[in-house]
Amino acid sequence: KVPMAEVDDHVRRIVRAMFATGVIDDPPRKSVVDVMGGFEVAQQIAEQSMVLLKNVSQQLPLDLSKVRSIALIGAHADVGMLSGGGSAQVDPPGGNVIMPPGQRGTVWGHPVWFPTSPMKAIRAKAPNAKVEFDAGTNVESAAALAKASDVALVFVSRWETEGADTDSLSLPDNQDELITKVAAANPHTIVVLETGNPVSMPWADHVSAILEAWFAGSSGHEALANILFGDVNPSGKLPITFPRSEADLPHATMVKPPPGTEPPPGPDHWKRVLEGLPAFQTNYDESLKVGYKWYDAEKKPVLFPFGFGLSYTEFAYSDLKVTKGEYVHATFTVRNTGNRGGAEIAEVYASLPPTTAEPPKRLVGWSRVQLRPGESKEVSVEIEPLFLSVFDSARHAWQQTPGEYKFMVGGSSDSLPLNGSVQLK
């Protein structure tokens, strides 16, 4: 039996939280969900997050006056685009457009494709071009279609989700060979990646363009077509590093679980955790060198660095001034030196005093700048003291170490043309 005093205490806690968060004074109201507005926002997010990784000889955007035939190859690009898995997975309208044999409806823990057909969106953008699809399961057939086309768009994918690690950076299902064969057949080969993490690219030097589309969501096909044909200038930057090789990773291999304790197949693999079975054995001994900081500290060259992303125009940086006060401010000028309007995400990094024993640099701020051709803008990035601090375990608090703080500004973690510094106490 629970004492009434304890029940009252629990009720008071709940009611107190309701008052504190405004639920009592301003209760939630029922409203009609703006579905179409949601699609518009999803498209804008997809357009701003896709990252152009390579673009030789301005292969992109596609020129409708020159492109008369387009080969679409692989990854079910005729009917949909892949969604990432996990708790944030949203069932698409109408259900999964790629249904595995014997499966009915969307099943948690299995890949889902949104009914967002890249082929449909591309045909709408290029009504006078011949757009043909090949599944890519037969590389010779795909190469033949590519050879007969002005441009080859190869869609490749790797489904990823929470609760599971990829065992390799390679693309599954022979997709590396598919790209290699298509690129050999057509020098105007563009690769569209539908992935959630870095992939190895043994074919990178042989294709003319690479676009990381990620898991593009409910309006991904429209966003993709807008970027491919230049209605939207790509502005996304990588939130991760793409290494040159798996050997450059902090932990290139993992020790497998003991024999007999391997996870069961299917979505119930998480149950092994409840049963006390080890998922894998890894000693994370890289300490503070996480992500891009690892490659910086170890001086490892990378395929595409953290913060990297190309545009259909060019940007120049100048006139850095670093000032201190309650906050440090990095003020500089960004200029669009190309002939297209576009957005640049200017990134600010800091190097802490050597006594902190921190990695070489850390991202401390950024600003998205929209610029017309030839336009310049002064940008000021405010840097919070927390971002320049290290955790003092003895004091259980974040502390700023006295000394010289160096600041670097540019378009990615390895392209930082501006430098400045201040002394902080």
Q: How far apart are CA 154 and CA 74, in angstroms?
A: 6
* Range of lowest pLDDT (234-243, 256-265, 384-393, 394-403): 256-265
**Stated length of the chain:** 425
Please indicate, yes or no, whether residues 186 and 327 belong to a single structural domain of this protein.
Answer: no
Domain presence at residue 12: no
Q: What is the pLDDT of residues 256-285, one digit of tens each?
A: 666 666 655 555 565 665 666 656 667 889
Q: How far apart are CA 57 and CA 23, in angstroms?
A: 57
Domain presence at residue 123: yes
Please indicate, yes or no, whether residues 201 and 331 belong to a single structural domain of this protein.
Answer: no
* Range of lowest pLDDT (43-47, 164-168, 240-244, 329-333): 164-168
Q: What is the pLDDT of residues 167-192, one digit of tens each?
A: 889 999 999 999 999 999 999 999 99
- Give the domain extent around 371: 314-424
Q: What is the pLDDT of residue 372?
A: 98
Average of per-residue pLDDT across 194-223: 97
Q: What is the pLDDT of residue 101?
A: 60
How far lies 88's CA from each of 4, 100, 161, 205, 215, in Å? 39, 21, 10, 35, 12
First to last CA, the chain: 59
Average of per-residue pLDDT across 146-169: 92
Q: How far apart are CA 129 and CA 152, in angstroms?
A: 13
Instruction: Kindly report the CATH number assigned to the domain that includes residue 347.
Output: 2.60.40.10
Domain presence at residue 216: yes
Please indicate, yes or no, whether residues 211 and 326 belong to a single structural domain of this protein.
Answer: no
Domain presence at residue 350: yes
Domain presence at residue 214: yes
Mean pLDDT, the chain, rounded, equals: 92
Count of structural domains, the chain: 2
Q: What is the pLDDT of residue 163?
A: 74
Instruction: Kindly report the CATH number assigned to the domain that includes residue 201.
Output: 3.40.50.1700
Last residue of a domain, one of 185, 203, 232: 232
Q: What is the pLDDT of residue 275?
A: 65
Which residues lie below 8 Å from residue 424, measured CB to CB, with a gap of 6+? 324, 328, 388, 400, 402, 403, 405
Please indicate, yes or no, whether residues 85 and 209 belong to a single structural domain of this protein.
Answer: yes
Please indicate, yes or no, whether residues 188 and 51 belong to a single structural domain of this protein.
Answer: yes
Q: How far apart are CA 123 and CA 115, in angstroms?
A: 16
Q: How far apart are CA 274 and CA 267, in angstroms?
A: 14
Domain presence at residue 289: no
- Backbone φ and ψ for 39, nearest 5 degrees, come out as -65, -40
Q: Please say if the pLDDT value at position 106 is more than 60.
A: no
Last residue of a domain, one of 232, 259, 284: 232
Please indicate, yes or no, whether residues 225 and 323 belong to a single structural domain of this protein.
Answer: no
**pLDDT band at residue 86, thresholds of 50, 70 and 90?**
confident
Please indicate, yes or no, whether residues 199 and 331 belong to a single structural domain of this protein.
Answer: no
Last residue of a domain, one of 180, 215, 232: 232
* Range of lowest pLDDT (87-91, 242-246, 359-363): 87-91
Q: What is the pLDDT of residue 253?
A: 75
Q: What is the pLDDT of residue 243?
A: 97
Q: Exposed (0-12), middle (13-18) or buried (19+): which is 109, by Cβ within 10 Å?
A: middle
Domain presence at residue 52: yes
Residue 289, CA atoms < 13 Å, CB-side half-sphere? 16
Domain presence at residue 298: no
Please indicate, yes or no, whether residues 118 and 219 belong to a single structural domain of this protein.
Answer: yes
Please indicate, yes or no, whether residues 214 and 354 belong to a single structural domain of this protein.
Answer: no
Please indicate, yes or no, whether residues 334 and 221 belong to a single structural domain of this protein.
Answer: no
Q: Please say if the pLDDT value at position 241 is more than 60.
A: yes
Q: What is the pLDDT of residue 94?
A: 74
Q: What is the pLDDT of residue 355?
A: 95
Q: Name the residue among 72, 191, 67 with its Cα closest to residue 142.
A: 72
Please indicate, yes or no, whether residues 68 and 181 belong to a single structural domain of this protein.
Answer: yes
| pLDDT higher at 51 or 36 | 51
Please indicate, yes or no, whether residues 210 and 357 belong to a single structural domain of this protein.
Answer: no
Which residues lie below 8 Å from residue 269, measured CB to CB, with a gap of 6+? 163, 164, 263
Degrees to nearest 5, angle at CA 390 with 385 and 394: 125
